[in-house]
Structure 1
Amino acid sequence: MLKILMILLLSSLALFASSTGESTAHTVPDLTMTWVGFACLFIFVVGYYFVAAEEKYEIDKAKPALFIGTFMFVLVAIYYSLNSLDMGLVHTQAEHLILEIAEIFFFLFVAMTYIESLIHMGVFDRLKYNLISKGYTYRKLFWVTGFLAFFISPIADNLTTALILSTVLITIEKTRKDFLVPGAINIVVAANAGGAWSPFGDITTLMAWTAGKGHFQDFLFLFPASIGGYLLTAFILARFVPNTQPDFDASKEVKPTMAEGAKVVIALGVFTIFCAVMSHQVLHMPAMWGMMFGLSLLKVYSYGLKRKYGSDHFNIFESMAKIENNTLLFFFGILAAVGALYFIGWLGLAVIVYDPSVLGATWSNISVGFLSAIVDNVPVMSAVLKANPDMGLEQWMLVTLTAGVGGSLISFGSAAGVGVMGKLKGVYTFGAHMKYAWTILLGYIASVSIWYLQYQVLGIGH
């Protein structure tokens, strides 16, 4: 088992599939047993340690990620130059790497811009007020915030969804851990599960979609497995939440109002997602092209709002300035780093675990969920896509499901979990999460079981 885990860990150091992966695999020399191969592997491990220990050293995770991502490729290029190897291979690999990262980079950039615009226009403040002014019990608020997280994350990203709704939690109650801890876990699990059945609900599903592992509608068939696992976890967690009402006097609170034009921005956001789907599925263009078109519409509308209400009403560049650029730079850096490791040849072992004599596709994909909780679901999913094992649509949907929901098993296993830990410091901690981790494990098993029944027994979703 230890040998299998080591193989899986090595396979997590990869970038998502490129269109030229198969054609270049036969011409790129294997550098794993050279000084540059070992040096880059060592640099990656050290750099990833500092990424994982972000809070301990108080260092932004984008810094080590960006450094190792750029430095490793420089080392590879130097090795090629010193040994008179074909520099065109380095150039081609770097170009394709940039293209693949850019497709997802700009997709997330536009999505974040819309979210920040909606925050600026008071949409989420209004949502928060509406929730806490209804007179709901803690248990009912637990369910409401969970369902909101599950159905918002397929449109927004799971990190933003988790941050917004964890803010709602801390607004409702600041001290009662018997509500805050199960509520925080509920939001993390719901956001990750909700993102798993949407092509753009999580970075991992976005990667699988843009890599052509399934059409838009194929991911929607993961809805039963996603919501089934979440509901089981939520049902058990709800038993630990008090059924009393929080102290809140709505008459003493100022009801927030949404800025003029907020509803149009919401509509433009939905239309932008529609444009992304049409770009990819119908026009056979990158999904980010439709997203950028949607951004252009938002910019035109912001010009109209500026003319009508003044420059202080809504400035789209202010929304762009509030985007978490460190997240985008981390994404670029870590994928560039694992791309370098792929180029060197460290992924030769990745396909071994998918061999029927080792684990086979189903058990390997189930193991991906556990690995994504320990490492991170982005590089893990990248490994599977780059290794590109020969398996059918149902297995690609399984690994998409497990990589998405598996990150909930540990508090820092997903971006949503890390974000909520930051919002609820001292309350939602690693230890507090692990106390209820068994409920998440049961939900994970339920999700995989539903997938098996749906795809393998009933043949639905092929």
Structure 2
Amino acid sequence: MSTLLPIRAHHLSSSPRIIKRSLISTTPAVLFRSRPCFLPSPLGLEAPRLLHRNGVLARAEDKARGGPSSSSSTQPPRTPPNSDKRLQDLEPSSGVCDPLCSVDETSSLDFEVNYQPKTDLLKALAVFAAAATGTVAINHSWVAANQDVAMTLLFGIGYAGIIFEESLAFNKSGVGLLMAVSLWVIRSIGAPSTEIAVSELSHASAEVSEIVFFLLGAMTIVEIVDAHQGFKLVTDNITTRKPRTLLWVVGFVTFFLSSILDNLTSTIVMVSLLRKLVPPSEFRKLLGAVVVIAANAGGAWTPIGDVTTTMLWIHGQISTLQTMKKRVDSEVDGKGQNTASVLASEQMAPRGQLVFAVGIGALVFVPVFKALTGLPPYMGMLLGLGVLWILTDAIHYGESERQQLKVPQALSRIDTQGALFFLGILLSVSSLEAAGILRELANYLDANIPNVELIASAIGLVSAIVDNVPLVAATMGMYDLTSFPQDSEFWQLVAYCAGTGGSMLVIGSAAGVAFMGMEKVDFFWYIRKVSGFAFAGYAAGIAAYLAVHNLHISLPTTLAQVPFLSGS
């Protein structure tokens, strides 16, 4: 599960309009107009102060651009129509600050009124006290004597902090990093020697870094393509208005788009398209639910479509061809009313088609690179990123106004905190594996649940509630390739169940959370309208896969195996 921060569009009546890019996840950046940050004040924000502040900002921006200053004008500032209403809209009621604002954009009066040094000092002391308590507890002799119990308790506490991230107001990336470091400290204390713990940590870091580098490269490529409006090549070709046809087209396009891009990006692109094609209605919400299910299913179809399949692919549990050939995914049908709408057209950035072709080609080439060279997949991803980097530098050479289309700007917009969350979780799980805790858990499950299909199915059900990344990471630590070889039924089911199980709840996947935020979908609406169909599709997919596997039905993988092409 991931948390998607809402985006609000604020319009300034008297300040220039500045187009900025959002800092959300790995999603296509959503354009919005920025506003100065107004801190709440018990004295209230009156219209004259707002007009004065906006005028100051406007003059500062004119001065930065070298244009005429508005202060030098002899004409008084104009007040646009309905200015009172706009000023009321600008006044913050919740006190939430725009993520891109800074203190120097606010008046000193607002800052002084809201600044509470005693409260901040108490919070800082509480954090330091908690850190000191944790340090003393870790160095206690009981921890060294009971390493497994201590690590299990700490992992449980940290994982609870990740699950209840919103309630505790602590970012899960920070919790994950603290948990990882603490677990490895306990491991170094309880290990036979520090050298053994360091060797285990070095091995774990090498494996985890492959996944992190792969994700960073993929996110940057997707962001560059989106900055050039490359995905409009796909979405602009969907013009049908027939409900049933639109449902199938949206489902198939989302499925195949998600097999190359990440699920979150695919969902944002397709839901944005639906908002242009279909007016607000129950039918549009149902189409959005289809997008969520198709995005999660498509991500499980290829090794590069989802973080969990990427993890399994990089560590050798699954291969590219067998994953795509054996995966069975569910589809959801629905009904709606015919609607007529005009698809709004946005201007594609120059060279968008070229960047789209090179970017998608770089993503698709990664499995080919691994097969040709035998090098880890992240090397192929870095190769594609390097080519796209040089390409964008070349085609935008001398174009100072298009810096936002280059890689350095794209790197500032990708979901870095998400990558750090993966780093913390994977290092935490690797510490449990090094301590032998996951192996003991695997032995317990084998003794009490001998059916591996039930274990894989349970992983999918649990992934609807908790994040599927640590679930898959723990499963990989519990069972090695000697227990289940590459492309075995167990690993294929784990990839399918972990990828699609999150569709059963709207909060079960990043795609669902994005859909919920964009369409204002209620949690219980999703349960009533979608969860039953998603569960039925999930169960049908497992049954279909087991049937195909047990009946030894094989799909042709070469032209020679196709009867009417081979002449047999």
TM range (shorter): 0.7 to 0.9
Match in the other structure for 2:295: 191
State which of 245, 252, 267 in structure 2 corresponds to 1:162.
267
1:74 to 178, 185, 194: 185
Match of 1:103 among 210, 226, 240: 210
- State the identity as a percent: 27
- The yes-or-no answer on 1:323 pairing with 2:417 is no
Written as runs of structure 1 = structure 2, the 5 A alignment for 1:338-417 is 338-352=429-443, 355=446, 358-388=449-479, 390-392=483-485, 393-417=488-512
What TM-score do the two structures reach when normalised by structure 2? Answer: 0.67
Alpha-carbon distance between aligned partners in 1 of 2:516 and 2:176, rounded to the nearest angstrom: 21
1:440 paired with 2:534, answer yes
1:90 aligns with 2:197: yes
Q: What residue is the counterpart of 1:116 in the other structure?
A: 223
Do the aligned residues in 2 keep the contact of 1:117 with 1:316 (CA within 8 Å)?
Answer: yes
Equivalent residues of 2:143, 2:186 under 8 A apart:
no
Alpha-carbon separation, structure 2, partners of 1:270 and 1:167? 20
Bigger drift between 451-460 and 196-205 goes to: 451-460
**Aligned residue pairs, count:** 409
1:257 paired residue number: 347
**1:15-45, Cα deviation, whole Å (9 max, x unpaired):** xxxxxxxxxxxxxxxx999444333323322
Moved more, 205-214 or 166-175: 166-175
**Cα distance change, pair 42–354 in 1 and its aligned pair in 2 (3 A):** closer
Give the equivalent residue in structure 1 for 2:544.
450
In terms of mean alpha carbon deviation, does 299-308 or 269-278 score higher? 269-278
Segments of structure 1 that go 5 or more residues without pairing to the other structure are: 1-30
Kept in 2, the 8 Å contact 1:353–1:360? The answer is no
Post-superposition offset of 1:194: 0.7
Structure of greater Rg? 2
Q: How far 1:180 sits from its partner (Å)?
A: 3.8
Paired residue type of 2:385: L
**TM-score, normalising length: structure 1:** 0.81
- Cα pair 1:145 1:187 within 8 Å, conserved: yes
Distance in 2 between residues matched to 1:310 and 1:33, nearest whole Å: 59
CA 1:249–1:212: 2 relative to 1, 3 Å: closer
**Map of 1:39 onto structure 2:** 150
Shift of 1:274: 4.1
Deviation at 1:144, TM superposition (A): 2.8
Question: What is the match of residue 6 of structure 2?
Answer: none
Summarize the Cα distance change of 1:387–1:128 in structure 2 as closer, same or farther, 3 Å threshold. same
Cα pair distance change 1:300/1:188, threshold 3 Å = same
2:468–2:498: 8 Å Cα contact kept in structure 1? yes
Higher relative contact order (CA 8 A, sep 6+): 1
Q: Compared with structure 1, are the counterparts of its residues 403 and 370 closer, same or farther at alpha carbon in structure 2 (3 Å cutoff)? A: same
Give deviations 1:348-405, integer Å, cap 9, x for gaps. Answer: 3432366376332222222222122232221111122111262352332122111211
Alignment match, 1:286: 376
Larger displacement relative to structure 2 (63-72 or 32-41): 32-41
Partner of 1:152: 257
Alignment partner, residue 307 of structure 1: 397
- Shift of residue 130, structure 1, vs aligned partner: 5.1
Contact 1:150/1:191 (CA < 8 Å) preserved in 2?
Answer: yes
Distance 1:90 1:33, change over 3 A: closer
Which residue of 41, 55, 61 corresponds with 2:172? 61
Structure 1 residue 222 and structure 2 residue 326: aligned? yes
Aligned to 1:270: 360
Distance 1:32 1:196, change over 3 A: farther
The one-letter amino acid of 1:258's match is M
CA contact (8 A) 1:361 1:391 kept: no
- Shift in Å at residue 288 of structure 1? 0.5
Secondary structure of the structure 1 residue equivalent to 2:396: helix
Distance 1:355 1:49 in 2: 26
User: RMSD value over aligned CA atoms?
Assistant: 2.6
Counterparts of 2:362 and 2:401, CA distance in 1: 24
Cα distance in 2 for partners of 1:113, 1:174 equals 32
Kindly provide the amino acid, as one letter, of the partner of residue 454 in structure 1: V
Letter in 2 for 1:272: A
Select between 306-315 and 264-273 the one with higher mean Cα deviation: 306-315
Looking at structure 1, the residues matched to 265 and 449 of structure 2 have their Cα atoms a distance apart, in angstroms, of 38
Structure 1 residues 356 and 454, CA gap change in structure 2 (3 angstroms): farther
Shift of the 179–349 alpha-carbon distance from structure 1 to 2, 3 Å rule, reads farther
The code of the aligned residue for 2:545 comes to: W
Q: CA deviation at 1:296?
A: 0.9
Name 1:136's counterpart in structure 2.
241
How far apart are the structure 2 equivalents of 1:32 and 1:213? 34
Runs of 5+ unmatched residues, structure 2:
1-141, 558-568
Listed one character per residue, the Cα deviations across residues 25-72 of structure 1 (whole Å, up to 9, x for unaligned) are xxxxxx999444333323322222232223334443212122212222
Deviations 1:170-224 (A, max 9, x none): 4455742x2243223211111111111101111111111111123221111134x
The 1:424–1:33 alpha-carbon spacing in structure 2 relative to 1, beyond 3 Å, is farther
- One-letter amino acid of the counterpart of residue 389, structure 2: K
Structure 1 contact 373–407 (Cα < 8 Å) conserved: yes
Change in Cα spacing, 1:93 to 1:311, as seen in structure 2 (3 Å) is farther
1:148, CA displacement in angstroms? 1.7
Which segment is superposed worse, 377-386 or 140-149? 140-149
1:340–1:32 distance in 2 versus 1, CA, 3 Å: farther
Match of 1:10 in 2: none
What is the distance in 1 between the residues matched to 2:445 and 2:186? 31
